[in-house]
Chain A
Amino acid sequence: MQVLLSSVAADASTIYLGWGAFTIQLGNFIVIAVMLLLFVLALVLPFPAGRKRK
């Protein structure tokens, strides 16, 4: 029963960030920040040289 309860346990309270009328969950904010970072990195990081290049 204890195991069952802990698997349905109360989550830690969700962290919200907010500026004025705009609010966003911290987790979602991190995901979006990671997406932007990956996009920029994809444009600037060098791609490893392959064996055969045309």
Chain B
Amino acid sequence: MTTVVPPPTTPAGPTEANAPSAKPDEEFYTWTGKARRWMLKTLPPKKLLPETQPSYVASWIYVFGMGAIASLAVIIVSGVVLSLNGPSWWHLSSLGHFVNSMHLWSVEFFFLFMVVHLWGKFWMAAWRGGRLLTWITGVVSFAVSIGAAFTGYLLQTNFESEWISFEAKDALNAAGIGAWFNVANVGQMFMWHITLLPLAVAAIVALHVLLVRVHGVVSPLDAAETDTQLRDAAFPELTDKADR
């Protein structure tokens, strides 16, 4: 832990000391200060939680990303409820069976919305304007979600999941990782499904959404470059609108 170093400026009045954001010429000596300055520069509060959205976002194609996130929330909540009671619950209890079905169908909706979101983003070339990492995190979250769904499929603890696991075993052995990622090892598949993969999906989805906030929603392909919305979205700090 570094010792606290007082700032080099002369003792400041109450307003200056309480200023939430850094002055441009202020020098930081700690990693926390540097991190705060970087975060505020990359994603100021008005960009992180915007009040308005560009008018072109008022279109149905833009609801599917949020639909995927809403489905993910239901997946996580239903998954937590299933974890509270353990695997036998969804076989023996009608409420358990219902929550299990909620978990499956929220996964179906998650993939439905995510893939339609993917189609929309592909055809509008949403990687434009420095948004490559947004696109890539989207692809990665798709791949990791498939892994999460697959391990979930193995945990049905019925004859179907046994069939799935031994078909998958052949494939993963052929790929060379079957000895390590052992689909017949229920404990391992369980930990991957309820711990590792949900954390991975949540982290990647959070990064994806933050990147959308950083770069803004991509403008339509045929939008004019002189459109003031595009300029204002890119440089909100230069506008004089009070609600930004």
Q: Is the interface of A mostly helix, strand, loop or mixed?
A: helix
Let me know if B40 is at the binding interface, CB within 8 A.
no
Beyond A54-B54, A54-B229, 20 extra complex contacts between A and B, CB < 8 Å: A7-B91, A7-B92, A7-B94, A7-B97, A31-B108, A34-B112, A35-B112, A35-B115, A35-B116, A38-B116, A42-B59, A42-B60, A42-B64, A42-B116, A43-B61, A45-B60, A47-B59, A47-B60, A52-B52, A54-B52
* Beta-carbon contact of A39 and B112 below 8 Å: no
Count B-side interface residues using an 8 Å CB cutoff. 20
Tell me which residues across on chain B come within 8 A of A47, comparing CB atoms: 58-60
Let me know if B119 is at the binding interface, CB within 8 A.
yes
Tell me which residues across on chain B come within 8 A of A53, comparing CB atoms: 55, 58
Q: Which residue of A lies closest to B60 (CB)?
A: A42
* Beta-carbon contact of B91 and A8 below 8 Å: yes
Q: Which residues of A1-46 have CB atoms within 8 Å of chain B's CB atoms?
A: 4, 7-8, 31, 34-35, 38-39, 41-43, 45
Which residues of A come within 8 Å of B, CB atoms? 4, 7-8, 31, 34-35, 38-39, 41-43, 45, 47, 50, 52-54
Mask, B38-71, CB within 8 Å of A = 1, is 0000000000000010110011110110000000
Let me know if B147 is at the binding interface, CB within 8 A.
no
Tell me which residues across on chain A come within 8 A of B92, comparing CB atoms: 4, 7
Cα distance A52–B92 in the bound complex, in angstroms? 52
Let me know if B236 is at the binding interface, CB within 8 A.
no
